[in-house]
Amino acid sequence: MTAATRVLVLNGPNLGRLGKREPSIYGSATHADLEELCLRTGKELGLDVEVRQTEYEGELVTWIHQACDDQTPVVLNAGALTHYSYALMDAVKMRTAPLVEVHISNIAAREGFRHESVITGAATGIIAGFGFQSYILALRAIAEQVR
């Protein structure tokens, strides 16, 4: 029996406030609900999923560096950092395994500043607009990539 592939699901600023933050956009489910969904989906796909959330850009960059060093696939929702964090973009450019950018909402259908992602060009791909289902789709994509 082979060990399950480790995957990090990394969430940036304000995602810890899911369920309270703009429920008309993000829904009423919490970050704990999202974590449970990701862990369950990972298990079904034979992935060893770890979910993390931070309010701090530097911590997110450090986690990406660690993933690069360990060749760990990543599902990344950088929150608002998506649109302006060149430090995060530079970290993602160093990736050594698949990295899927995810968004709960359709960023292209929202405020103008959300239309551009500095992360997308360095990611393996992007999934947006499907609510928490975006994470499931990203984990499935990673499972396919690492097989």
Percent of the chain with pLDDT over 90: 83
Indicate the pTM of the whole model.
Answer: 0.94
* 114 annotated as a binding-site residue: yes
For the chain, domain boundaries:
5-146
What average pLDDT does this structure show over 95-103?
97
What average pLDDT does this structure show over 98-105?
96
Instruction: Say which CATH topology domain 5-146 has.
Output: Rossmann fold (3.40.50)
Pick the catalytic residue: 31, 65, 86, 103? 103
Is pLDDT above 80 for 6?
Answer: yes
What's the pLDDT score for residue 26?
A: 84
What's the pLDDT score for residue 51?
A: 98
Count Cβ atoms within 10 A of the Cβ of residue 51 and give its class: 0-12 exposed, 13-18 middle, 19 or more buried. buried
What average pLDDT does this structure show over 72-86?
96
Is pLDDT above 50 for 93?
Answer: yes
Task: Write the single-letter amino acid at 97.
Answer: A
What's the pLDDT score for residue 1?
A: 38
Report the mean per-residue pLDDT for the chain: 93
What average pLDDT does this structure show over 86-96?
98
Query: Dihedral of the CA atoms 108, 114, 116, 117 (nearest 10)?
Result: -110
* 105 annotated as a binding-site residue: yes
What's the pLDDT score for residue 2?
A: 54
* 77 annotated as a binding-site residue: yes
Q: Is 103 a catalytic residue?
A: yes
* 117 annotated as a binding-site residue: no
